[in-house]
Amino acid sequence: MTNLNQKLGSMEYDDLVSDLTPKPQVRAGTLAHGGAEISLKRGTILEKDSSGKLHILGTNPGGVVTEDFNGDGAATTFTLAANPLPLAVKGAKVGTSDATISSYNAQTGVVTLSSAPAAGTKNVHISYEAAGASEPYGILCDDVTVGTTADEVVPIYTAGCFNTKKVIAADDYTITDADFDALRRYGIVFKAEADAR
């Protein structure tokens, strides 16, 4: 005889989803890899950059970025590590003096200077405008670890009602009303206990 009252398992609720209206929707997104392996928790708010890749909210600011390289007295080419690569570079310096850029390949990130910089540690400085992420886009569904060499395809909530006390951003970033407004346009709303945003 079959025992229909047997307990098969259990589930713990983390209170991330705070209501079933609007209905949660899940889609796949590409989480960009970085310079160090990082583990992200379910509930992390993600923003999308101009290339369509996702980053933790607050970690992908726009503005002028400078990458530093070591000159060796012979090399004239330097490869940018930006992800995504900028469409153009703003300028280059060797030490404090301006250097002439003879070419830049936006597909590979290779910057070619007209002459080889003298040998030195971090004496070559190449600047560009980082696109940055335009706005928050979704919420990570599951815990995930992203390495340093490959992007990770992850499930993200692109709609639903979530608990404001359970969402996560970068450690030094405070989620703003503008961030909540941006997510609301995608169908993501927030409600913590009796307080709704």
Domain ranges of the chain: 17-60+132-196, 63-130
∠ CA 131-150-25, nearest 5°, is 75
- Say if residue 110's pLDDT is above 80: yes
pLDDT band for position 51 (cuts 50, 70, 90) = confident
**Residue 74 or 4, more confident:** 74
CA distance 155 to 71: 42
Domain 17-60+132-196 has CATH 3.30.2020.30: no
Could you read off the pLDDT of 4-46 as tens digits, one per residue? 677 666 656 788 999 889 999 999 999 988 778 899 999 999 9
Backbone angles phi, psi at 25, to 5 degrees: -125, 140
Q: Which residues contact 177 (CB under 8 A, 6 or more apart)?
A: none
Could you read off the pLDDT of 125-179 as tens digits, one per residue? 999 987 665 678 999 999 999 988 889 999 999 999 999 999 999 888 889 898 9
- Which tokens is 91 given? 């300028």
Three-state SS annotation for 85-108: CCCCEEEEEECCEEECEEEEECCC
Backbone angles phi, psi at 183, to 5 degrees: -65, -35
Query: For position 171, what pLDDT does the model report?
Result: 86
